[in-house]
Structure formats: structure tokens, C-alpha cells
Structure 1
Amino acid sequence: MRKISLLLLVVLTTSYGCALFKKKKPAAKPATAQSGSNAASNINRPPAQGPKPYKEVITAKAKTDTGLFKLHKVDERFYFEIADSLLNRDILIVSRISKSAADVRASMLGYAGDQINDNVVRFEKGPSNRIFLRSVSFSERSQDTTGMYSSVLNSNLQPIVAAFDVKAYAQDSVKKSKGSVIDVTDYLNGDNDVFFFHAEVKKMLSLGGLQPDRSYIQEIRSFPMNIEIRTVKTYTRTPSPQMGMMGGSPGGPLTYELNSSMVLLPSKPMQARHFDPRVGYFATGYVDFDSNPQGVKRVSMITRWRLEPKDEDIERYKRGELVEPKKPIIFYIDPATPKKWVPYLVQGVNDWQVAFEKAGFKNAIIAKEAPKDKDWSIDDARHSAIVYKPSDIPNASGPHIHDPRTGEILETHINWYHNVMSLLRNWYLIQTAAVDPRAQKMKFDDELMGQLIRFVSSHEVGHTLGLRHNFGSSSTVPVEKLRDKQWVEANGHTPSIMDYARFNYVAQPEDKIGEKGLFPRIGDYDKWAIEWGYRWFPEYKTTAEEASGLNKWVISQLKNKRLWFGTESDPNDPRCQSEDLGDNAMVASSYGIKNLKRILPNLIQWTREPNEGYDNARSLYSEVVNQYSRYMGHVVKNVGGVYNTPKTVEEAGSVYQNVPYGKQKEAMNFLNAQLFATPSWLINKKLISQTGIDPVNMIRSVQSGTLSRLQNTNTINRLINAEALTGKDAYTVFNLFADLKSGIWSELGKHSSIDVYRRNLQKAYVENLSKLLEAPAPQSMGGMVFRPADPTASDVSSIARAHLINLRSDIKKAIPSFSGMSKYHLQDIDARIGTILNPK
């Protein structure tokens, strides 16, 4: 569930979210002793000595593992025996954290299972009995169609990143070479950005130099299509601006256990399928010098498994009959998984079979328990698996390994962390306990928890099939349908399990809605997305030919609004949000708040466990507040919002549209009523007396967080732009400030007492406006410096200044009518505004 942070996406992904870590024409620099020892020390030097006879290098003491390469361990040295047939073959190296360093995280990065690098390499013969390791990038491509091929090739010489002396040659019975033996010990014991951390990831994790005396090769295993390298790496820690939020001692070392997978890429690449922003797939891409004769074009390809009918079934497939694929997608369940959860994980995989049937394949995706075979390994790249991690991390993730040349998914390991169950329990209790009695306790029955695990399994499997989050899916459902028992149990509360729509919090107790109407499931969008990505089209001989046909198909299918895809990366479209439901955030959130009001008074009873204190009650109280805060976030995104509906030129209608005036006005009315008017129902005195939660800070945090999104340079600029484009039909910045003032400063006209919650809100209001009067300082994150939007470069600061002047005038007039703390507060606000307007 936890996903890579926005910053990491910027650093390590393509435009559409699929990690590549490709280095464009890096300089080929020899490694130092610390970063690879003599393996790459001087590519032009003569070898220290020539190859020895095979038996003198791979002695009788050698422990040999046969697979992609023959792997030999002699004493403490590791040797690769690379068959001549595998020279110049593309090999994908994917590096992940197996065990994380203690006491340090960079935002969402640094946990076990996180990917930290990937590269494509080739081993090739060099002069003087050497094997070169060449890093290969597919970021720029050309064919012979325009005469650009030679030019592109000459401008993209792939760097040699390491050189290895051939220690011995393996020979066949007639003394012909059939393989080269190289010693990889020093290179793997050192530090390099081929097998280990990408340089930007090291920077984000504040990793310094490798400590060789505390780093070592733990294990190397060879399988038919992959080699798995397990190492322990210890680094110094470098101080950084992020150190405070990451925790830990700035001077202590950091030790990680890393796993580097070397996976042989197919000799015959799969035909790629072009990315389409109207269907949510992860993508990989390159710059094409052929597609645009007067420039270049960025080409993006979706990531997907190679799914084709068997040769004998091709005609049946063309007739529309369901057939089994040549090679089904099989997930194995980690043998370490607690037995009672295995059936639910299996079902979570098999639930996708109905989607693949839409693409013409039956039994295309299957889950099995891992075989009880001593030769079977979960690390074998021929096996995809759901891996159980006995960890306190409340998370699950679904990464996959794909061929960067075509997007073909080759293997995946879904990480299922044990403590994700606490996350699921909290979500389900907070969102449905008002309507489902099974959720009104701390320990759920196994059947309920099993179904929750099944839902998580299905969601993560979707990612491993190439699907991104569809945060817009739930916005296609009318809110009132979520209370219609018959409709919602038949159709589900969102058309996509890839949405972050969790559970149906709109349902009310009187609706009598059962589990089918509360849980997410494989929906209409998921079936369509799989059909679009996996249907086999033999009539199209090239990817470009296929793209035209697919475009017509998409235009036709998207007449069904339930098939709409809304990206997870649009900060301005209120339809695309996590954790939201329905087509109207104000109505949906009102229903959600009604249920929170039912849940809150029962928390002490529902969280009670014998011989325990009130930690559970405190935790769930915080969850109620968090859920309430999410509702406010869903609503506030409508103000200054812009709908973004990707289209091709063959489609009618606008791509970008401002949220209508009426909906923005409705959002502001909601916020004034449900948030800025103190939500006193959240202040439960009995809970506070048992949990020690600070009610003043609790309310201030939610109010100020939402208010800052309204009094924000980007929001105000969008309102200014909307007014410039649409004139009188727009919700303007003046409408915004008028609505805010009427809701937050209503005491000025009524001359009513201002309580502590409102005083804090009003202070936050003025503080936010003060930030709009000066250019913000540059900010640094993850080693990158960026400049936030500058309010002084537009009308934003002019409007804020005028509003402060008018507000101060109103406050001065009102002060004589107040007494006590209210008067002191207004006098303080008057002084603050004076300082803001006239700084010394």
C-alpha cells in the first residue's frame, strides 16, 4: 500500500511512473579499490598474468552451482563461468533492499523490498584476455529508416563499467573455448552503481563511503535464467537537511542487506504496446529519432506480461473462444505464510481470471502453494511469488521486473508484510463499524480479516500486471448509488480495485448494505484495462500499426463513464483523489461524518481488551481524526480545481476544464459549516480523559492544514487564470476570500465571544496571508533544490495585501465591542497585521 514518494518518482522514474534508473551516456570511469577493486581498475592496463589451466583455477575444492552462469566458490573467492553463447546478451540487474538499516528512512524509501536500482548490462570479450562489463541504455533508438541509425549509434557508445581478467577458459572435448571464468569477488565486495545503490538513492538515504571491513558477500545462487546475489553493505552516514526527519544518529554507520538479481532478457523481444494516458499502465520508454522527421519523439510502452494463445488455439482465439495461453501467469505463495491466510491470498490472485477472460484467455492467472521440493526456490526468477514478511511495517507492495526494451514483465514478488493487518483493521473499523457489527472490536474474526487480505492481494496483483492506481474511478459513481443496497452490492462502490477507495463509508446503518457493497472488488474498469493491455492482435504486425486501431477502440469504449481512468499524479483534478468516494465529495463526506459521529462515542467500548490500557482507544481516536481530515482534503481540492480528461485529436470536447462555480461554492459552504465552525463533536471528553489527546492542537491541526491549501499561491493563481479565461462564470479569488472571511471572521459582525479554537484558526489565517507577501526561499529535498511558486510574481500578493488591509480595518472597528480574551486576541491580530504590512 505504501508507495514511492513523489520525490523518488521524479528522480527514478519515467514520465509515467515506471522505474528505469537509466544513465544517459555516463562517463566510463574506472572503479577505485573501494568501488570495485582491480576488476575495473584500469581497462587499458596489461593483465597481471595470462589465463591458467581450468583445473588450477576451479579446483577440486570448488563448490559449483549451475544455472545462467556456472557459479564457482573456491575458498572465499567467487567466479562466474560465462558461456560464449551468453556474451553480448542483454542482462537486467535489479537491486533491492532485503533488510533495511535500523533507525533511518528517507520519507517512504529505505524499507525492505524497496527497489534501489536497475541496469541492463552485457558481458563481452575484450583484448588481452579480458571480459568487459558494458552498461546498456535503451533511452535513444533509431532504425535504418531515415539514415539516423549510424548517427545515433555513434553518439551513444555504451560505457564499459568494469573489466575482468579471464582467469581460465572452459573448453569442450575438442579444446575449443566454450566459456570464460572471471573472478567477481572484489567487484561485488566493493561499491558500484551497477549492482548496488543508484547514486540518487544513496544521496536520499544520506549514505557515504562503503566500509569494506564491515561489508561482504553473503550468498550467490545461480538459476536457469537468473543469478541472485545477496550482500551486506555498511556505509558511513552523511549529514543532510533530511536527517532530522529520518531519525537516527548522524554519525553512526548504516548497514543494509541487499539483493541483486541478474535476469537474462529474452533473445526475441516481445512486441511492445504503446502507452495511452487514458488507460492506467506503468510504462517504460525511449527517445525515437525516426518517428518525427523534423525532431524527436518520446515513445512510451506499457509494462505487461507476454500472453499469447498456443499455436493450435490461434484460430479458436480469433473466433472469440476462450483459450489457455502458452505460458500462464503463476503466483506461488511463500511457504512461510501463515496457513490460515493462504486461501485468501490465492483467491486474491484468482479473482483476476474474470478480467483475463475479457481479453480472450482462460486460466491465464493462477495462484498455487509453493511446491515441497528442495530444488524449488522463491529466488528463482522463473517463479513469481507472494512473499510473506514477518515485519511490523503496515504495508504491502507489488513491484515487478520488466524488459526495458519492450515493457515485457518477466517476474514479480509481491511483498505482504504481517502488520498490514493492523492497517486493514483500522481502515475497516473507522470506515464501516457504523454499519458492520463485525468491525466493532480490536480483533477481527479470521473470515473478515481473510477477506480484507484477499482485497489487498488483488490490489497488489493488479500492480504486478502493470496497472497503476486509478484514483479517478470512484468519481464515476453517483453518491446516492452508494446507499442503494441492490445497486451497490451488484456493482461495487468503485469500478476499480486499483482505486484507493478502500471501503464504502457512505453507507448508512438504515441502508442494510452487506459485505458485497462495502468491499472493493475487480470492477468494470479493471476488466477493460486488462482487455486493452492483454488482448492479442495478430493482425497488427508492428506497434505503430496497432496504436491506430487501439485508439479507435479506446474512443468507443470510453463512452462508458465507468471505464474512465484518473491518474494518481494530478494535484489539481478533484476527481482524482485517494481514499474518496462518489461524484460529489461534499455529499459523500457528509455521510462519512455522520458515521464517524456514530463511531467516536463507542471507541472505549470497542477497543477494550483485558489487562490493557487505553493505547488502542488513543490510536483509533487519532484514526477518526485522520479520516475526518481526509474528508476535508477531498472537499478542498474542488476549490481552484481543474478537470483533466486526456483525449486524442479524434475526440471531441475539452481536455482541461475548471471546476464549475456551483461546485466550488458548495465546497466552501461545506468547509465553513463542517470545519471552520468548530467541529465540537470531535471533542469527546471521556476519550480525552482516558487517552490524553490534546483537543486544541487536534482541531488546530486539521483546520490549519486545510486552510493552508486554500490560501496557497498555486490555488489562488488557478482562480486568477480561471477568471481570465471564463470571466463572470468563474469562481474567483474574490469569491474565495469573501467566503473565507464570512466563515472564519463571523464574530466580528456578531460581536460574539471568540473561543480558543476560533482564535487559533484566525491566527493561522493571518499567518498564511503573510506568506503571500514575499517570495519564498529555495527549498532542498533529496539533494535537489527547487523554488516554490512565487506569489509576488503575480496578482496573488496584491490581493493578499488588500485583503489584510480591509481585514485590519474591520478588526479595529470591532475591538471596542469585545472584552477579555477575545479582545486581547483581536488586538494581537491587529498588531500582527501591522507588522506584516509594515515590516521594520
Structure 2
Amino acid sequence: MRNLKTQLLLCVCSFFLLSVHAQQPVPSPANAQRPDTSRRAPGMPPALSTAPKPYKEVITAKAETSKGIFWVHKVEDRFYFEIPDTLLQRDMLVVNRISQAPAGLRSGGSFFGYAGDQIGQNVVRFEKGPRNRIFLRTISYAEYAKDSTSPMFTTVSKSNVQPIVQSFDVKAFGKDSSSSVIDITDFISGDNDVLHFSSSLKSSLRIAALQADKSYVVAVKAYPINVEIKAIKTYGRGPAIPSGPGGGMMQGGGGGNMTMELNSSIVILPKTPMQARYFDPRVGFFAVGYTDFDANPQGVKNISLVKRWRLEPKPADIEKYKKGELVEPAKPIIFYIDPATPEKWVPYLIQGVNDWQVAFEKAGFKNAIIGKRAPTKSEDSTWSLDDARNSAIVYKPSDIPNASGPSISDPRSGEIMESHINWYHNVMQLLRNWYMIQCAPNDSRARQLQFPDSLMGELIRFVSSHEVGHTLGLRHNYGSSSSVPVENLRNKAWVEANGHTPSIMDYARFNYVAQPEDNISTAGLFPRIGDYDKWAIDWGYRLFPEFKSPEAEQSKLNGWVIEKLKDNRLWFGTETNPDDPRSQSEQVGDDAMKGSFYGIKNLQRIVPNIQSWTREANEDFEGMKTIYQEVVSQFARYNGHVAKYIGGIMETPKTQEQTGPVYELVSKAKQKEALDFLQKQLFNTPTWLLDQQIFDKTGQSGLTIVGAVQDNILNRIMSSRTLTKLVEAEAAAGKKAYGILEYMGDVKAGVWAELTTKKPIDVYRRNLQKTYVNTLINILNPPAAATASFGGGFGPAAPSLVSAEKSDVRTVVKAHLQRLKAEAGSAAAIYTDTMSKIHLQDISDRIAKALDPK
């Protein structure tokens, strides 16, 4: 007989054995008489183990039974799981969601707290314990060793004992003692991290103790691969947290109770995990990962596996697939449309799903993904939005202007098991704002606050496709549109044939470069499933049956990627790089200076028309204010795209089989071009943006609006981080780099042009110049809360190595301020314009105080 230590160690290690290893034998009840070391869950009173009773005494004739992965029995007010021995030691995924949201859960502006929102996720395993007990463990996959025969496997397992979170008495054994009946009533009626809110989420939502007398189980239903538990839960609510020094309280109230309906799905994970595919930073997929202690013989290696659905040919079609024929998958990806969705938008949402079919054909599958209406009760009385087998686009009647595409995956392989795409009702306002600001000069339908349903439907279709892409595993490709020459975006024939970006996963919303005289239709304005999307799906979903492991196919995939990336339209630019100007949110084209120039021209067409385009009978001016602010935000965005060139570092991930650098400096010429753009378009006051008639109706201020945009960009391009990158670039590239002295001289020449021209300095320029000086003073004398070091190194992950005292940045800034102080003082002496004179005197005084603080 094995001792207890060995027994528990084998249970802990069973995940690492995966499907290629035999399941450990389950001890019979007669052989399970060992000391009981189990504990009840926190808050549960200790209970004495009682001997199992005959089956019919527990599951009586009154039982209501639901048959599926487990048999679920309801006997009067008690719920039982009948768990077959074959499902012991099997990994199961638990996903918890709000099925009916409580009033008052959401704080103002929160994206969370709606029906369908996920509140927890765990992997669990049932196993037999001593004295006729069934244990429930939660399983972690953070650390891993593959070879179960190696000493490393034993060492890792000993250091990663999986916790027992619940112990159940076996109430009865099933037929031939091949199943165990446990009473799960108290577990599902209570409150725990496995089936309900995670601890961290409870804290953030201020959810207090469960009110047991106001909570109850609604239903427990079994399905072929899952069990669904639905319960009404009433929780106390913690007090609201003060929002800040002013003492105001967060929205959402404080104290009292909240009642909600929660749904927990227990889904059996495949006995044989899907063959994984290793993550490749050159193709943008989401990933799951773990630390592998076997992969590196002299250390450890972090392994990342891409998230994707299990698409496989039907057994009869495998040979056809190998020959390159299109085949239907054994199990297609199906997205149902939430029955609560307004009917007029349903066809557009379905089309947004089906648009991806062409991409899967590149991977060898036809009809691989299908959008469907949810069946009615008469068509299928068992269908439920909460059933974990059903992926869906979920409609949320919220004022939040957003949509999102999360997914649930098997942590062992990255296999996507299910997804609920969130479509918030007010995403339509977001779409209206985007399209009006970027395309109204080219599409007359967008010159009004209420779009025609036909236009809004096409916009919804675009968002649907984008979010479905996320659920297929695809990340944002911020760099995709940078492969398109700006000139092509104005070429009607080219852009209507190819689209303005090769990826719908790009944040290149619409073609804002197109000008009215180009006569470009919506085919050249809207995003679509593009070349990159087809390539990414091909890479992620194409099967190579000749390879039996992710390691075996790695060389094949690497060679394939290298060959494909000879086509620049297939390049992936990560959304996480803060330094590469090719990878930017909501930028189109290969040159931000050219693209932003055309975008601003269109904004200049919009501003004079805002009053007429936003006119609505019997309404106030809130719509006018919103659209004007959207123009300002878009203008700021265009300048932000340009600012990223200054100190820019381009990142092109490569393997060692590829030639050329991974990191490259943006050329000096391009950086100077970017600065010249900012001087002309932003630092020279953008008077076209100032419409006093709009301000008179909305209460907005031109000084505040222009100042906010200027301050943001000036703080960015004169930040210690940007200046440090220039110093490091000069150290690496010498005279080829844009050196910090030359750069700061160029910025000063524009911002302080009046020191040369002696023209009066107007209020907009005076404010800009004050921001300039304050930014540099903060570098010289950082505020108390500021960090004492500057970011350094090439690439977004480079460590901060340059201390404030050691960097040339402060030295240069100090000398720069000294020179500026002298020039401002000299100019003040000869200025006759009073405001200009006292402004320059003030500047000189501020700098003097900063240089010699006392």
C-alpha cells in the first residue's frame, strides 16, 4: 500500500503527465482508510465523515435527475453530483459569470458589472481521498516539467503541491461502485473562490459577506461536457471609497445589500490536449504560458502557447486536407447572437462573423466559422446563453461606448474553449464619432448626429469582425497600416481594391487621408479582412499532420514566416511598443507627417460645419460640444502620431536565421521632419480650431483646448525619457543621430521664435513658452514623487540604467536654461509690448529660481 505522501504527490503531478501518460489508479473505498488531513473550506463548520449509505437511500424515488458529464440529482432541497470514477483526476475548467447584474454594482463609467461579465476562472480536479472523501483541488500551470521520469519532475512537483479547497463525504456509491455521490448543496449555496467572485474582484467591487438567508440555488443542470450552476446571491456592500482629497464618494453607493444571479460553468477539458503551437512575436496572437524546467538543460525557459480554437478535419477528410483541398472542420466555430439584441442589427453582427470565412479558407477550411441567430425556445428549449458550450455576441444595454472580445482557453494547450463578445449598446455613439470625424468630408451620410441604419449597420459589422478576430486569438496589429504608402490611400482604384490597411485588427479605423476630390467610396474608407488577417489565420490554424509536437513543427513554421515576411503587408507591429512610430493606434499610412497633414485638412473642413451638422430640433448643444471635442481629440491624435518619431526606435522581431538588426533608430531626417510638422501645425497656434460661435454655445475655452494639446505634445517630446533616448542614440550612431544639443536648439528656435523676430508674443504663445520652461525645470529639479532615473536602452523592454545624476540630460537642460534666461532677459529690455515684456521677465525669474533654488 502506498503511503499518504506518495498518494498526494501523484495526485498533484497528474497534470504534468497529460494525456500521453496513463491515469494513476484510483484507490477503492476499501483501500482508502488513511489518516484524514483534509479541512473544510473557510467559514464551513467541521463535519464528521459518515459511512456511505445504499444508493437508493440517498438518491430516492423523489430525485430529479439531469444526465450529462455528471449525473446531477435534486432530492427535495439538496443537490448531488454523481461523479464517475473515469472523471476523477480529470482537469475541469470553471468559468463564473454574472447572469443577472444587480442594481448599483457598476461605478460611474465602469466597463464591468453587466450580465455576461466573467467574475472568476479556475482549473479544478476531483480526486478520491481517505475515509470515503472526494477532494476538490485547484490546479495551477505556472511551472512545469514534462518528463515524469526525470528528477526535475519530482522536484518541481514537490514544490508545487496543488491546494485542496473542499472536501466532500461520499454519500453513496453508484452501480458497481464505479461512481461516487457527493452532496454539493452547501458548497454551491455558500461563497468561495471556485464558483463565485475571485478575492481580488470582491475587493475592487466592495463586495462584503454573503447573506445566506437571502441567497439560494436556482438550478443545476448537466450537459454532455459541462455542468451549469445558477444561483441567486445576496452580498453586503462595503462603504464607498472617497474619490480624492475633495472627499467626494465613488458612484455606486455604499453599504446595503446587492442581489444578483451568478452562473458557474464546470467544463471538462479534453483528455488529450490539443497540440499546442509555440508563440511567435512576428505573428500577433494572444498566448498562455508557463515556466518549463526541462526545455533549457542549464536553466529555465518561459514557454508561450498561442490561443486558438481546435479546428481539425473530419476523419474522412484528412487525406483531402493533406492534398490541399478545402474541407469543413469536424467542429466549426459558431457564434450565436444574443436574443436580446435589437433585431435590425442582427444581420450585420452575423455578417461580421461570417466575414472571417475567407481567412480560414487560406488555412484549408471552409465554413469554419458561422454566425447564427440564437434558437428560440420552440426551436431548442435547452439552449442557454449561459451554457459554456455556446459562444455568443452578448448585447449589453449600457451607456459605455465600447466592445470587447475576450475568450476562455485551456491553459495546457491554448485551445480556446468559448467566448462571449461584449457589445455595449452605446458603442454606436463611438462609431458615429469616429466615422463623422474621419470620413464626413467624403461621405455625406455622416454629416448628421443620427446616422441612417444602413450606415450604422455597416459600422457595427466592422466592429463585430474586429472583436471576432480577438476571439480567434488575434491581437491588435498596430503596425499593419504602416505598410501602405500614403499616396495609395488617395488612389481611388488602388485603395478600393486593397483597403486602407492589410488588417482589420489594426486600430486604423477609417481612411482619414482620403480627400473629397479623390471621390473614394466606402470600399476605400472602411476596414476589411485583409492580407495580414488571412496570413495570421493561416499561420495559426493550418495543420501539419506530419509533426506530432510543437517542437517538431518549429523549424517548419520559422522558415514559413521568414519567407512570408518578404511581403511587407504581412508585417505585425505590436501594440505594446512605445518607441516604434510604425506601430501606432489609429494611424494610417507609412508616413505620419503626410497622413496627419491630410487628416488635418479634413478636420479644417469639418469645424465650419459643426453647427449645421449637429443641429437637432428641440435639443441643447451637447451634440455640438461632443463633436467639437472629437475634432480636438483627433487633432491631438495626429500630432501624437508625429511626436513618436522623435527619439523613435523601430523594432522588427527576428530569429537568428534572419539577417539585419532587430532595433533601428529612426533617421535624423525623419525626426527633424516630425519636429518641423509640430512647429507648423501645433506650436504655431492652430487658429482654424478656434470657433468662438461654438465656444459661446458650449462654454468651452480656446485657451484651455489648444493649451491642453500643446502641453501634452511638448511634455512628451521634451520628457526626460525622450531626451535620454537621444543621448543614447548619439552614443550609438554618432553624427548620424539627432543629437540632444541640435534637437533642443531646433525646438527652441520654433517655440521661442519671437526672441529673434521681436514680434509681440500673444497669449497662446506665452502659455506655450511657460509650459516649455516648466517642463525643463521639472527635469532639472524633479518633483518629490518623480523617479530618480531615466529610461534607457534600445527596445521597450530595456532596463532603466541611467541615473539622473549621471545622465547628460540634466547637464544639457541646465545649460539650455541658462542660455534661455539670458536671451529672455535681453529681449525683455527692448520689448515695447507690455505683456511680452513682463512675460519674458517672468520667464527669466522662473529660470533663475530653478537654477539657484533656496
TM-score when normalising by structure 2: 0.88
Deviates more, 1:431-440 or 1:812-821: 812-821
- The answer as to 2:228 corresponding to 1:228 is yes
1:668 is paired with a residue of what secondary structure?
helix
| 1:544 aligned counterpart, secondary structure | coil
Secondary structure at 1:37 match in 2: coil
Q: Name the counterpart of 2:827.
A: 814
Greater RCO, 1 or 2 (C-alpha within 8 Å, sep 6+): 1
CA contact (8 A) 2:78 2:183 kept: no
Deviations 1:328-364 (A, max 9, x none): 1111112222221111111111111111111111111
Correspondence for 1:11: none
1:509 match: 516
What corresponds to 1:8 in structure 2?
A: none
**Does residue 290 of structure 2 align to residue 286 of structure 1?**
yes
- C-alpha separation in 2, matches of 1:802 and 1:110: 53
Between stretches 90-99 and 477-486, larger displacement belongs to 90-99
> Is 76-85 or 750-759 further displaced after alignment?
76-85
Are 1:437 and 2:444 an aligned pair?
yes
1:262–1:798 distance in 2 versus 1, CA, 3 Å: farther
Q: Which runs of 5+ in 2 are unaligned?
A: 1-36, 788-798
Q: Does 1:91 align with 2:95?
A: no
| Equivalent pair of 1:322/1:361 in contact (CA under 8 Å) | yes
For residues 580 and 617 of structure 1, the distance between their equivalents in structure 2, rounded to whole angstroms, comes to: 25
Cα offset, 1:529, TM superposition: 0.2
Match of 2:320 among 293, 316, 332: 316
Which residue is 2:190 aligned to?
A: 189
Q: Deviations over 1:377-417 (max 9, x none)?
A: 12222221111222222111111111100001111111111
Tell me: CA distance 1:823–1:344, structure 2 relative to 1, closer, same or farther (3 Å): same
One-letter identity of the residue aligned with 1:346: I
Gap change, CA 1:701 and 1:245, over 3 Å in 2: farther
- The verdict on how the C-alpha distance between 1:787 and 1:535 changes in structure 2, with shifts beyond 3 A counting, is closer
Change (3 A) 1:402 1:385: same
Decide which of 346, 353, 376 is 2:383's aligned counterpart.
376
Q: Using the alignment, how far apart are the partners of 1:61 and 1:716 within structure 2?
A: 77
Residue in 1 that maps onto 2:17: none
Match of 1:543, SS? coil
What code does the residue aligned with 2:206 have?
Answer: L
What is the aligned counterpart of 2:307 among 303, 306, 313? Answer: 303
1:1-48 CA-to-partner distances (Å, cap 9, x unmatched) read xxxxxxxxxxxxxxxxxxxxxxxxxxxx9999xx7532xx66xxx625
Query: What is residue 853 of structure 2 aligned with on the other side?
Result: 839
Q: Which residue pairs with 1:260 in the alignment? A: 264
Partner of 2:582: 575
Deviation at 1:286, TM superposition (A): 1.3
Structure 2 equivalent of residue 830 of structure 1: 844
Q: CA deviation at 1:115?
A: 4.0
1:130 aligns with 2:133: yes
Structure 1 residue 216 corresponds to structure 2 residue 219: no
Q: Which amino acid aligns with 2:195?
A: F
Residue matched to 2:635: 628
Alpha-carbon distance between aligned partners in 2 of 1:672 and 1:201, rounded to the nearest angstrom: 46
Whole-angstrom distance in 2 between the partners of 1:825 and 1:236: 52
Offset from partner CA, 1:764-810 (integer Å, 9 cap, x none): 11221122124565689xxxxx9999644522222222222111111
Query: Cα distance, 1:50 vs. partner?
Result: 4.1
Partner of 1:20: none
Aligned equivalents of 2:838, 2:75: Cα separation in 1: 81
Decide whether aligned partners of structure 1 residues 789 and 390 sit closer, same or farther in structure 2, where only a CA change above 3 A counts: farther
- For residues 536 and 217 of structure 1, the distance between their equivalents in structure 2, rounded to whole angstroms, comes to 47
2:353 touches 2:464 (CA, 8 Å); kept in 1? yes
- Report the CA distance shift for 1:245/1:537 in structure 2 as closer, same or farther (over 3 A): farther
2:813 to 792, 800, 807: 800
Q: Could you say if the C-alpha distance between residues 96 and 469 of structure 1 is closer, same or farther in structure 2, counting changes exceeding 3 Å?
A: farther
| C-alpha distance 326-779 of structure 1, shift in aligned 2 (>3 A) | farther
How far the C-alpha of 1:822 sits from its partner, in A, is 2.2
**Other structure's SS at 2:658 match:** coil
Match of 1:154 in 2: 158
Distance 1:739 1:665 in 2: 8
RMSD after superposition: 2.7
- C-alpha separation between the residues in 1 aligned to 2:80 and 2:805? 63
What is aligned with 2:472?
465
Q: 8 Å contact 1:190–1:212 — kept in the other structure?
A: no
SS of 2:553 mapped into structure 1: helix
- Please tell me whether residue 522 in structure 1 is matched to residue 523 in structure 2: no
1:553/1:691 CA distance change after superposition, 3 Å? same
* 1:554 aligned partner: 561
User: 2:51 aligned with 1:37, yes or no?
Assistant: no
Aligned mates of 1:675, 1:421 — CA distance in 2: 31
List per-residue Cα deviations over 1:49-99 (Å, max 9, x = no partner): 444555565566665544333344556654433333222110112334553
Aligned to 2:793: none
Deviation of 1:210 after TM superposition, in Å, equals 2.8
Mark the runs of 5 or more structure 1 residues left unpaired by the alignment: 1-28, 781-785
Structure 1 contact 475–581 (Cα < 8 Å) conserved? yes
Code of the residue aligned with 2:717 in structure 1: it is L
8 Å CA contact retained: 1:170, 1:177: yes
In structure 2, the CA distance between the partners of 1:417 and 1:406, relative to structure 1 (3 Å rule), is same
Distance 1:639 1:260, change over 3 A: farther
Aligned to 1:347: 351
Decide whether aligned partners of structure 1 residues 569 and 610 sit closer, same or farther in structure 2, where only a CA change above 3 A counts: same
Higher mean C-alpha deviation, range 224-233 or range 126-135: 224-233
> Is residue 120 of structure 1 aligned with residue 123 of structure 2?
yes
Instruction: Determine whether 1:70 maps to 2:71.
Output: yes
Contact conserved, 2:776 with 2:813, CA < 8 A, in 1? yes
Which of 721, 732, 742 is the aligned partner of 2:739? 732
Q: CA, structure 1 residues 237+407, in 2 after alignment: closer, same or farther (shift >3 Å)?
A: farther
The Cα shift of 1:197 comes to 3.9
Q: Please state if 1:609 is matched with 2:608.
A: no
Verify the 8 A CA contact 1:501 1:581 in the aligned structure 2. yes
Q: 2: CA distance between counterparts of 1:289 and 1:241?
A: 45
Distance 1:77 1:664, change over 3 A: farther
Corresponding residue of 1:715: 722
Identity level (%) = 56
Specify which of 302, 326, 331 is matched with residue 330 of structure 2: 326
